[in-house]
A and B are shown apart, each in its own frame.
Chain A
């Protein structure tokens, strides 16, 4: 069965620093998609970045980049130059027909 693992329940990061959020997954499928979502305290799920399993290059979206290591089945999110507004829960998710989420990592950005 497919499984998403986020081992960091919470992290503190200083403003303007970079932070890496870990995500590993387990699947026997060859075709799948990996996503990262941000969920602020208001509750909505905000799409950040996507990586297809066949994409050869790591995805980037502004300050977000995805470090995709297919052989290791990891899809870590890197947020560069953290801002106070980045404080939120971050979820890694995998799609192979339906979207399944990890448990999330709480990020707190401090001044």
Chain B
């Protein structure tokens, strides 16, 4: 089966600019996650969707970050305006449903590496 697709692979922007990342999960996976991974740290969950509804966005900096999953399939994560500390890898992951992780946890995409200068 096709994996989790993410684009772009790399992005360099200046601070105060805006940027958007796209994710297409595995077909049939109802739950989609966005993680932020700062260099040298483990991934941190930003937002979790169940179909097209938000389940958990407690760690999303809502003054500058937004995310949507309008049709319950692919998702977009946006940052506006970007700050230097937003430089990180943004990972998208999907699973069948919350609590039904099976033996494989989530399936991750290759990530988008964002550099804010």
What residues make up the interface of A, taking CB atoms closer than 8 Å to B?
4, 33, 35, 37, 42-45, 47, 50, 91, 93, 95, 97-104
Contacts and interface: CB of A to CB of B under 8 A. Distances in A.
Nearest to B113: A43
17 contacts: A4-B42, A33-B105, A37-B105, A43-B110, A43-B111, A44-B108, A45-B43, A45-B108, A47-B107, A50-B103, A50-B105, A91-B42, A95-B105, A99-B45, A99-B93, A103-B42, A104-B40
A98 B48 CA distance: 9
Main secondary structure of the interface of A (DSSP, over half): strand
Interface string B62-102: 00000000000000000000000000010101000011010
Given A93-B42, A98-B56, 12 more contacts: A42-B110, A43-B111, A44-B108, A45-B91, A47-B104, A47-B105, A50-B104, A50-B105, A93-B105, A99-B33, A99-B45, A104-B40
> Most B CB atoms within 10 A — which of A42, A45, A102, A104?
A45
A93 to B, nearest CB: 7
Contacts of B103: 50
Contact of B89 (A33, A37, A43): A43
- Candidate in A33, A44, A91, A102 with the most chain B CB atoms within 10 angstroms: A44
Contacts, number: 55
A12 B44 CA distance: 26
Residue among B41, B42, B43, B91 facing the most chain A CB atoms (10 A cut-off):
B42
B106 interface: yes
A24 to B, nearest CB: 14
A54 to B, nearest CB: 13
Nearest to B41: A103
A99 B106 contact: yes
A93 B37 CA distance: 14
